[in-house]
Structure 1
């Protein structure tokens, strides 16, 4: 699963971040503790800098949320409610 995610994502899935997937952590878009499945359509590679932005230990006024769409795009919602879309990179890659 980890190899597939690295090949699919290629980089951190936070909008504009170019940290390679090999240096990222695999994270549940919908929190596992809140019922999120450990499945390809609920996981994404996030770098150590962006991964903590969506964790519950961060104060709510600073916390982001993410959800994965059926096409693989990750929609990010910032603390003010603004939405940002990170589309998946092209899928042709050899790992």
Structure 2
């Protein structure tokens, strides 16, 4: 089993919304950037269905959350790549 999860909507949903287990804790430990982004997005996330509690989220709410997380990670990675290029020149 790989410790680093592939960045897919399903994996983000499984990491963030799954029951807390030792395996989940290990995945969190091995994917700190993903976990940090999930925490950041969760602070301001408003479920499209209007549900207030993550336990009551619909699948579409969880997918919307995962898409925001993946977009945030992509944006962060883009910014880091740009900074590295600027340092190179």
Q: TM-score, normalised by structure 2?
A: 0.32
- Higher percent of residues as helix: 2
Q: TM-score, normalised by structure 1?
A: 0.30
